[in-house]
Amino acid sequence: MVDEYLKRLPWKKNIIEIDIKKPAKTVAERKAKEAERLLAAVPSGAAMIVLDENGKDLTSRAFAKKIDHWQMEGFRSLAFIIGGADGLDTSILQKARLKMALGTLTWPHMMVRVMIAEQIYRAWSINTGHPYHRD
């Protein structure tokens, strides 16, 4: 499903999965190691959006407006960060342009990918006047 939504978008997209194979001794160490690898994968100058249970709940129109605003500010890339099971390190949360929640439920990573891909496509459709989104 992720591929289906992404292929509808008219620009370059890239999904990078970071997997820490060697377990860390503590949650803090794991989160720090994960943060280092995640931040290294974010394109230079990208607006970074993190998925966080304490983030903002946005409507699809508000999300589309944010994306439009970032484009007007000159951001050429968006980087969506989905953290590990224990959440994200504060170093990532502090650098985020937006901390966004997908409601109050906890979702598995594969479903979050689909939901974000669909919302990016929906935002594009709202911002371009495409009839996909209906209020």
Burial class (CB in 10 A: 0-12, 13-18, 19+), 59: exposed
> For residues 6 and 26, is the Cβ–Cβ distance under 8 A?
no
Which pLDDT score is estimated for 86?
87
Question: Which DSSP category does 11 fall into?
Answer: S
Q: What value, to the nearest 5°, has the Cα angle with vertex 100 and ends 128 and 104? A: 120
Which pLDDT score is estimated for 37?
92
Alpha helices (H) along 1-133: 2-8, 27-41, 60-73, 90-95, 109-128
Tokens 């997209």 appear where? Answer: 13
Relative to beta strand 47-56, strand 78-82 is parallel
Answer yes or no: CATH 3.40.50.300 is held by domain 2-128. Answer: no
Residues of the chain scoring pLDDT < 70 = none
Provide the residue ranges of all domains of the chain, joining segments of one domain with +: 2-128
